Amino acid sequence: MLVVRRLALCLVVLCLVATTAIAAPRTDRCVILVSVDGLAHFYRQDPRADMPTLRRLAAEGAQTAGMRCSFPTVTWPNHTTLVTGVVPAVHGVIGNNYVDRSTGKPVALIPDPLFDKDEIVKVPTIYDAAHAAGLKTVGIVWPASRNARSLDLTVPDMYGDGWTRFGTQSWLAELRAEGLPVDMQAAWCKAATGGVQRDWLYTRMARQAIQKHSPNLLLIHLVETDHVEHRAGPRSDDAYWAVSYADDRIRDLVEGVENSPLRGKTTIFICSDHGFFPITKDIRPNVVLAQLGLIDKAKGGKRSAFVLSQGGGAAVYILDDARRDQIAQQLRDQLGHLEGVEAVIESKDFGKIGQARREDDPHGADMWLAAKRNYSFTDSTDGDNPVVPRQSAAGTHGYLPSHDDLLATCVMWGAGIQPGAKLDTVSNLDVAPTIARLLGIELPTAQGKVMADALAP
C-alpha cells in the first residue's frame, strides 16, 4: 500500500512539473510564423515547383498533407485565424470587407485602412499572449495588426503612409541606418511588380530582427506569390517563378536564423492562408438583384440587398428588414440556379462554415454563396448577363475550403519539432495553439488543438 501511495505521489509531482514546464514562458526560444500568401499545398508535390528550401525543411521537420482554411478563403480572415486559433465568427474578421447595413456600402478591412487591430479582432492573438507573458514580439506586414500594442516591433500591412503612422519608428530608424530601403514601401506597393522588392525587404527586416533583437515570436507575411497567381493563374509559368522566388525568401530567413543568437532554439512555421483556383468566368449576382428591383443602379440609389464578392465566395446582405424573409426566398431561388454557383449557404448553416450570423454580429451576412472552380464573383451591376467570360484567364480564392486545391501549406521545422513527422490534413485553427505550446504560454480561447504529432517528445 505504501508503494502505491508513493507512486501516486510521484505521478502528482510529475504532473505538476509538466504543467509548470508548459506554463513557463520560454524566453530562450523563438518561433517564426511565415505566411507565404497564396502558396497552395499542391505546389509541394508538383515537380515544376522549384522549392528546394521548403522541401528540405519538410523532410527534416514535420510536414502535413495540407491545411484546411477558414471560409471565405481570403487573406484577412485566414491570417487572423492563424494567430487566434478561432473561426472568423469568433475573431470578428469575417472577410476582406463587409457591408455597412446603415449605408449599404462596402467597408474595407484590407489593407487595414480604417481600423486598429483592437477594433476588429475580438479575441486574444498568439502575439497578445506572448507579450503578456513577457516575451518579445515582432510583426512584419501581418494583416489586421494595425497599431497592435502587443507587437514590440512592427510595420503594418498598409500602403501609403501606413508605416510612418503605425510602424515602430525607432526600429524603422535603425533599419534606415543599416541601409535597408524601408521608405520605398509606399512606392513599391503602387508598382505592378512591387511585391518582388517588398518580399525581399520584408525578409531582410526579419533577418535583422532575428539577429539583433532576439524576438521570441516573429510574424512575417510574404505577398508576391498571391499577386502573381491573381494575374496569371495558378500553375502558370509566372506562378512557378513566384513560388521559386518565395522559396528563396524562405532560404533568407533560414540563413538569418543560423546566424542568430537563438540558433538551435528557433522553430519556423511555413504556412499560407489559402490555395488557388483558375478563373475564366465572372458571376455578377448584383445584376440579378438589379433585375429584381432590389438595387437601384442610379447614383445614390437605394439598395434593398447587395452581394459582396470575396472572390470564390460572396456575402449576401439583405438591407430591407421589413421584407427580409421574402427577399431571402427570392435570392435563394434566383442565385442558387446561377451558372457557376456551387452552394447557397443559409444563416442556419453558418456554424458549418465558421461564419457570423447577422443576429450575432452586425457585419455578418444573411446568406453566403460559393462558386465552382473557374468562376469568380464580382460586385458589378453592369450589363444584363449575370455570368460573363473574362477577357483573360486569371486566378482567385475565397471558395469553400473543402476543395483540395484550396488547401494551404503547413511545414514546421527547427527546435521542438519531431524530425520526419508526417501529419494528415490539419486545420489552420491548430497553428496558434501549437506555437503557444512551443513558447510555454497559454491561449485558452483557441478552438484548435496542439499538433502534438509534430512535436518532439
118-136, pLDDT tens digit by residue?
999 999 999 999 999 999 9
Supply the pTM of this predicted model. 0.94
pLDDT at 393: 85
- H/E run at residue 342: strand 341-346
Contacts for 191-200: CB closer than 8 Å, 24+ residues apart: 195/223, 195/224, 195/227, 195/228, 196/224, 196/245, 198/141, 198/223, 198/224, 199/223, 199/224, 199/245, 199/246, 199/249, 200/249
Nearest C-alpha neighbor of 423 from the set 448, 454, 450: 454
3-class secondary-structure state, position 100: strand
What's the chain's average pLDDT?
A: 94
Other CB atoms within a 10 A radius of the CB of residue 272 amount to: 29
pLDDT at 142: 98
Question: Regarding predicted confidence, which is higher, 22 or 170?
Answer: 170
pLDDT at 16: 31
| pLDDT tens readout for residues 368-403 | 999 999 999 999 999 999 999 999 989 999 999 999
What is the number of alpha carbons within 13 Å of residue 138 lying toward its C-beta?
Answer: 26
30-36 and 217-222 strand pairing: parallel
The span from the CA of 268 to the CA of 8, in Å, is 38
The average pLDDT across 419-435 equals 98
The span from the CA of 453 to the CA of 457, in Å, is 9
pLDDT at 15: 38
pLDDT at 301: 83
Nearest C-alpha neighbor of 431 from the set 452, 408, 455, 450: 450
pLDDT at 23: 59
**Pair 31, 432: CB distance under 8 Å:** no
Answer yes or no: is pLDDT of 9 > 50.
no
| pLDDT tens readout for residues 288-302 | 999 999 999 887 789
pLDDT level of residue 85 (50, 70, 90 thresholds): very high
Residue 102: partners with Cβ closer than 8 Å, 6 or more residues away: none
The span from the CA of 284 to the CA of 53, in Å, is 41
pLDDT level of residue 20 (50, 70, 90 thresholds): very low
pLDDT at 4: 34
**Pair 411, 62: CB distance under 8 Å:** yes
Q: What CA dihedral angle connects 159, 161, 165 and 167, to 10 degrees?
A: 50
pLDDT at 136: 98
The average pLDDT across 240-263 equals 97
The span from the CA of 276 to the CA of 289, in Å, is 28
The span from the CA of 342 to the CA of 243, in Å, is 29
